Chain A
């Protein structure tokens, strides 16, 4: 599956899960936090632990970011509600 296909699938999954997921308050808090949040890029080889770090740092299993493949590397950390990786 190509990168764009995977990205699209991930976005669809997250949108779908957010419809039944967080309450309006949680969603507001998330938006507020995202508005001022610093951007941290995670770079590293496959299996280095990027996804685990994103989950551990944010305490949030639903973290949406951007990701792209850079040679054998993935840039960014992304994990959706279904646990799929882009």
Chain B
């Protein structure tokens, strides 16, 4: 998981490091290259900075904040050469509730193989109902992540 701030415009150092990581991963012939996700942090500080009343629908953004979050996701997708559905906007404002960390967790789960998912679901004490994979799908439909057929059946 690459972690980058949405408020940091300079992407070149990150991109160089990510490309180096990709080259290393692709050269490891004995292993499958790990899937890369991007956690786009500090989205609460995007303009308008005063507005922070999540959740925001970033698949069909209406409110100004939702639009800037979506623009930040689109921009990061280009800068990092990642599909938009690999990017999860998050925020952890000090003293306030974290935003979209559950979606990030579900997005990680969507990359796991079935056996691992079953094991993890079994360990999730007291969280009956939706499986992690179903949760990932649900967050996509709620507009908190951009899901494009990412949730594997």
Contacts and interface: CB of A to CB of B under 8 A. Distances in A.
Interface of A: 32-33, 36-38, 40-45, 47-50, 52-53, 56-57, 70-73
Nearest to A70: B17
A47 B5 contact: yes
A43 B17 contact: yes
Contact of A53 (B3, B8, B112): B3
B44 to A, nearest CB: 11
A43 B41 CA distance: 13
Given A36-B123, A49-B92, A53-B39, A43 B5 contact: no
B42 A49 contact: yes
Contacts of A57: 101, 104-105
Interface of B: 1-5, 8, 13-14, 17-18, 21, 34, 39, 41-42, 90, 92, 98, 101, 104-105, 108, 112, 116, 119-120, 123
Contacts of A49: 3, 5, 39, 41-42, 90, 92
A32 B104 CA distance: 23
Nearest to B125: A29
Contacts of B98: 56
B4 A48 contact: yes
B105 A36 contact: no
Contacts of B13: 45, 72
A71 B13 CA distance: 10
